[in-house]
Structure 1
Amino acid sequence: MTGSANSNARILAGECFCGAVRYAVDDSFEYALNCHCSNCRRTTGSAFKPFAGIARDRLSIASGDDNVMIHGDDAGHDAHCRRCGSLLYSVVRDGAFVHVAMGTLVDAPAIRPTAHIFVGSKAPWFSITDDLPQYQAHLVSR
């Protein structure tokens, strides 16, 4: 995937565990959430997936494009490193946005998660201990 960068935004670096795939993304995320759905838990192997959402054209693969493994189609998929399996981002919202897995960012973004979503299906062994709002399913649009 390639994209154009917003010249006013700071560019953040991200990469997979083994370094085979590196990406660049504008630090102009529109939202960030902690998702507890079973798909995010299984994809990350964790209790939840912290992600930051941004228009798809704001993320580009800097190196290792041939190591990006796609699960899904152009309108919605997860992008993993073919070598190490790291989840890098998910294409969502009919292909218009990406949800960047915040754990793959090398640089610290300006945004922080503002809520927990899909807590109705969170792992029973995990307790949410912060004061962020919790939603049983998806965050209700404002």
Structure 2
Amino acid sequence: MLTGCCYCGAVRLEVDDAFGYAFYCHCSRCRRRTGAACAAIGGIEIDLVRITAGREHLLKVGESEDGYRCLCKQCYSPLYDAVREQKFAHVQLGVLDGVPTRRPDHHIFAGSKAAWHPITDALPQFEEFPP
């Protein structure tokens, strides 16, 4: 079991250490959303992510049939996105207190990465989504 929280600590979550996939996303939306060169994301079935404290501070943004984004209402930290018809969660790995067993093993949207950020590891890079 992994625990995590937003920047201000108002929202706490736990997630099973059972990520099915993990990656670094370099798309312009992730850069703008995180303020970083890329987002480190772990994908898992959404019912394996639980809010353990601060549910009243959880803000769902952009709700649709496909998904939504969860942020803290107080500090606006991105916590996770509900994706793939709201069946999976893309958890921001940076909110976790511990180290997940599955770590990012590829880069997506490397074709649109920040020009000032070199990718220096040997992980596979995909211009957009992997095949």
Per-residue Cα deviation, 1:85-137 (whole angstroms, up to 9, x for no partner)? 11101111111100100000011111110000011111111110000000000
| TM-score normalised by structure 1 residue count | 0.89
SS in 2 for 1:73: coil
Partner-residue secondary structure (3-state), 2:56: helix
State the identity as a percent: 46
TM-score, normalization by structure 2: 0.96
Correspondence for 2:67 among 72, 76, 79: 76
Q: Which runs of 5+ in 2 are unaligned?
A: none
- Secondary structure in 2 matching 1:41: helix
The partner residue of 1:114 within 93, 96, 105 is 105
Aligned residue pairs: how many? 130
1:76, distance to aligned residue in structure 2 (A): 1.4
Residue aligning to 2:54 = 64
Structure 1 segments of 4+ aligned residues over 3 angstroms from their partners = none
Matched, 1:100 2:74: no
Q: What are the ranges of 5 or more consecutive residues in structure 1 without an aligned counterpart?
A: 1-10
Q: Say which of 32, 42, 45 aligns to 2:32.
A: 42
1:124-135 correspondence runs (5 A): 124-135=115-126
- Local SS of the residue matching 2:62: strand
